[in-house]
Homo-oligomer: A and B are copies of this chain.
Amino acid sequence: MRPLPTDSLPIEPVPGPRQPFTVDASNPHLAKAAELAKVFAVDAAAHDKAGGKPLPQLAALKRSGLLTLLIPTEHGGQGERWSTALKATRELAKADGSIGHLYGYHFLSVHAAFLRGSPEQAQDIYRRSAAGNWFWGNNGNSFSRTLFGRRDGEYTVVDGFKPFTSGSHIADHLSISWEDDESKERIFAVIPADRDGLTIEDDWDGFGQRQTGSGRVTYRGVRVHESEILAFPGHAGKPLRTLGPQLQQSVLLNIFIGSAQGALVTARDYTRETSRPWVHSGVERHVDDPWIQRVYGELVTKVRAATLLADEAAEALDAAWARGFELSEAERGETAVTIAAANAHAGTVALEATSQIFEVMGARSATRELGFDRFWRNVRTHTLHNPAEYKTRNVGKAFLTGIYPEPAAFQ
């Protein structure tokens, strides 16, 4: 197998590698995210191995103030745009895909009351979430027919379970949804994570995104007060209410981008500092092998292109969000197609990058201790929740016919 050269040939001092994936540090929130990411990167491999709850990282996120990023300033948040949150998500995912995931999904729940509830509910939730520096978990994915509620006076009693409840294992508050026994309609609500009758199983067994706690939550006679239920006829039929899949896809795609960037930068450092030149390469440093240069060149270029597509999609989301409940169906459709394209592309490129890095690091890089395979495991796991095939068809259909995807789960 790989030879041990008699002595190592450290790379000569160079200007320092090119940094095409650095964050815009003029934005203080992004600078803070980058700073956290640096800390999280140190033991990300160990956290991946351990699974379970990322409590130190959660504490750091709470201290950082980044959890209130998207809450309007008048309610105690920073009033930032989605694109900032998405780039912070990306930055965190460069170090640790699980943390990026938890952070990004948190905002889906933060906004649940705004999207589905009354203006008063939204304000109340924003205010309390900001004041309490809540971390949100997601029990609201709209498809699972495993959780049911029946009315009982001012309360609804909810029984069953929810799968894929990312973040619930460390959440302060939860956004949830169930099917009403009578009307068969889907009901949305927000409740504290310590509500009686809830069991957060913390049984996530994915081979990637190991600390996201995306397992089950069991409901046994959980009582939800009608003031916690999100329903506001005044916004019925508003396209903005159907923008959930685009928020989710935006978070996902930026985790892919962050994972790809993180994999490349991590691999680059290993290649520079540790990899040895191939025995028949004729070069003294691995970085001087035209093969190694070409592979990095290809990957950097692809990841950069995917990043620009992600940036464009984030701007599209900002623009759609800024339209608020005035958002039109066509605008919603155009936003959906832009985000779908960026999402599918990011996943494809991230899968490629996270697998190919090993070829340019060499045989000794493939150990459990180094844990570089977590990048691929994370992306491979997470890309499955929203197949590129269907999103890509929607992009093609819109290009061909001008018809946008019907608003629905995942599209």
Chain B residues whose CB sits within 8 angstroms of the CB of A380 once the complex forms:
355, 358, 366, 373, 376
Looking at A23-31, A59-67, A190-198, A301-309, the stretch in contact with chain B turns out to be A301-309
Given contacts A341-B297, A396-B300, A410-B280, contact A143 B2 (CB under 8 A): yes
Complexed CA–CA distance, A4 and B179 (Å): 13
Complexed CA–CA distance, A396 and B143 (Å): 29
Chain B residues whose CB sits within 8 angstroms of the CB of A144 once the complex forms:
3-4
Q: Provide the A153-170 mask, 1 if CB < 8 A to any CB of B, else 0.
A: 000000000011000000
Given contacts A287-B401, A301-B309, A301-B392, contact A4 B292 (CB under 8 A): no
Judge if A359 is at the interface, Cβ distance under 8 Å: yes
Q: Provide the A252-278 mask, 1 if CB < 8 A to any CB of B, else 0.
A: 000000000000100010011000001
Asked whether B305 lies within 8 Å of A387 as measured between CB atoms, the reply is no
Chain B residues whose CB sits within 8 angstroms of the CB of A4 once the complex forms:
143-146, 163
Interface of A is mostly: helix
Which one of A300, A312, A365, A383 has the greatest number of beta carbons of chain B within 10 Å?
A300
A297 to chain B, nearest CB (A): 3
A314 to chain B, nearest CB (A): 12
Given contacts A144-B3, A290-B290, contact A402 B297 (CB under 8 A): no
Judge if A325 is at the interface, Cβ distance under 8 Å: no
Judge if A121 is at the interface, Cβ distance under 8 Å: no
Which one of A293, A383, A385 has the greatest number of beta carbons of chain B within 10 Å?
A293
Chain B residues whose CB sits within 8 angstroms of the CB of A323 once the complex forms:
none
Judge if A295 is at the interface, Cβ distance under 8 Å: yes
Chain B residues whose CB sits within 8 angstroms of the CB of A278 once the complex forms:
387, 389-390
A222 to chain B, nearest CB (A): 19
What 8 new A-B contacts, CB under 8 Å, besides A297-B393, A301-B344, A366-B381? A1-B141, A16-B402, A205-B367, A279-B410, A293-B392, A297-B344, A301-B345, A308-B312
| 22 A/B residue pairs, CB under 8 Å, sorted by A | A1-B385, A2-B164, A4-B146, A14-B403, A15-B330, A164-B363, A205-B367, A207-B373, A279-B409, A290-B290, A290-B393, A293-B392, A294-B392, A296-B395, A296-B397, A297-B397, A298-B392, A304-B312, A308-B309, A355-B376, A359-B388, A366-B381
Q: Which residues of A contact B (CB under 8 A)?
A: 1-6, 11, 14-18, 20, 141, 143-146, 163-164, 205-208, 214, 264, 268, 271-272, 278-281, 287, 290-298, 300-302, 304-306, 308-309, 311-312, 330, 334, 337, 341, 344-345, 351, 355, 358-359, 362-363, 365-369, 371, 373, 376-377, 380-381, 383-385, 387-403, 408-411
5 closest Cβ pairs, A-B complex: A297-B396, A3-B143, A296-B396, A297-B392, A293-B396
